[in-house]
Amino acid sequence: MRASRVNLLNSDLCLFEKSSFISEALILLMAKFFCNFAFLLVAAAVVFIYIQMRLFATQSEYADRLAAAVESENHCTSQMRLLIDQISMQQGRILSLEEEKKRQDTKCEQLMSLVQDLERRGLQRLVDKVPVAAVVIMACNRADYLERTIESVLKYQSSVASRYPLFVSQDGSDASVRSKALSYKMLTYMQHLDYEPVHTERPGELIAYYKIARHYKWALDELFYKHNFSRVIILEDDMEIAPDFFSYFEAAATLLDSDKSIMAVSSWNDNGQKQFVHDPYMLYRSDFFPGLGWMLSRSMWDELSPKWPKAYWDDWMRLKENHGGRQFIRPEVCRTYNFGEHVCYCSLFKCCECPVSSIVTTYKPFISPLLGNKSGSEATHTLLDISRKT
């Protein structure tokens, strides 16, 4: 029994040893398993951390891209709004330009209508700016006469002042004449001071005729060459003019320019007394120079100036060698009136009283019935042909 107990104890001991061995094996196996599991956990943790980092990086990249996309979208939106605003502005400008075009079209139509109106009127306003002729009053020492002449001229010249600039040319230094001329702002004053001694060609001659000739040459040289006028109308300081004086000379200027056989145009008729005249529109050709309110062209003065006489210039104009067969235009009814107290005509050959001539007293535009409805050169030649036969 004891032996069986011993055997049993040995058996139990063996079993115990075996179970201890198994336990140690299990422990070792479990330790190895846990060691491998820990390694796997570490590896899994590393993989997890790596994956998380990649996900974070990817998320960050996507977030940046999304932010860039949002920013780009905002930029595009702002650009689109800007373009919309610009389109709206352009549409507004287009509308305003269309309205401006309509206004311009309207103005263009008005201007075309105005141009056509001007053409229908012969562009009269533009022509009015071009001087027809300068008007010069030759004066010396008669201030009261000069005033009356200036007042008569200004009465009808004011409305056509741009076409007929007015001048007063004084010979000498008479203070009252100078003061009277300078008192008018509507004219230009010129003064001829000639201190050169006068030597007459014949005993007993008046030196006044020599001074007058010098004064005329000086004044015409000034007006044609210094002031550059194409025509000059010469008046004396004891004349009054007719209401149609300027209309008469405007019509006569056409004849003077177009027909080189005309030397000058006068407004005076030596035989213009009432009992001898009837037609205020009739013009005549004459071989005699009437003077007393006459018009000369620059081309004619270019010829006359170099050989201008020392005295008796009006008689000199009547000499055939000077007018060369050319003629002078004069009216049937005078356009000037000589109001001098002693109205006389003095020349180298004679001195005689002049009877008072008739003068036009009402204004009508000067259109000779000889011209009919014709105009230009045709009208001029018709007038001149008839005048030659008269």
Q: What are the tens digits of pLDDT across the range 74-130?
A: 888 888 888 888 888 888 889 888 888 888 888 888 877 776 766 666 545 544 567
Q: What pLDDT sits at residue 327? A: 93
Of 190-199, 304-313, 344-353, 360-369, the least confident: 344-353
pLDDT, tens digit, for every residue of 122-174? 545 544 567 899 999 999 999 999 999 999 999 998 888 889 999 999 999 99
Residue 17 pLDDT class (50, 70, 90 cuts): low
Is the predicted pLDDT of residue 301 greater than 80, yes or no?
yes
Chain CA centroid to CA 369, Å: 38
In the chain, the amino acid numbered 186 is M
Is the predicted pLDDT of residue 355 greater than 60, yes or no?
no
Is the predicted pLDDT of residue 175 greater than 80, yes or no?
yes
Count, residues in the chain: 390
Catalytic residue numbers read 314
Q: What percent of the chain has pLDDT over 70?
A: 74
Is the predicted pLDDT of residue 383 greater than 80, yes or no?
no
Q: What pLDDT sits at residue 3? A: 57
Q: What pLDDT sits at residue 149? A: 96
Is the predicted pLDDT of residue 8 greater than 80, yes or no?
no
Dmax over Cα atoms in the chain, in whole Å?
215
Of 212-221, 232-241, 348-357, the least confident: 348-357
Q: What pLDDT sits at residue 49? A: 86
Residue 353 pLDDT class (50, 70, 90 cuts): very low
Residue 186 pLDDT class (50, 70, 90 cuts): very high
| Model confidence, pTM | 0.61
Q: What pLDDT sits at residue 143? A: 95
pLDDT, tens digit, for every residue of 55-68? 888 888 888 888 88
Is the predicted pLDDT of residue 178 greater than 60, yes or no?
yes
Q: What pLDDT sits at residue 296? A: 95
Residue 347 pLDDT class (50, 70, 90 cuts): very low
Is the predicted pLDDT of residue 224 greater than 70, yes or no?
yes
Of 115-129, 228-242, 291-305, the least confident: 115-129
Of 77-81, 334-338, 358-362, the least confident: 358-362
pLDDT, tens digit, for every residue of 25-52? 666 777 666 677 777 777 778 888 888 8
Q: What pLDDT sits at residue 96? A: 86
Most confident segment among 81-90, 174-183, 324-333, 362-371: 174-183
pLDDT, tens digit, for every residue of 244-290? 999 999 999 988 998 999 999 999 998 888 888 888 888 999 999 99
To the nearest whole number, what is the mean pLDDT of the chain? 80
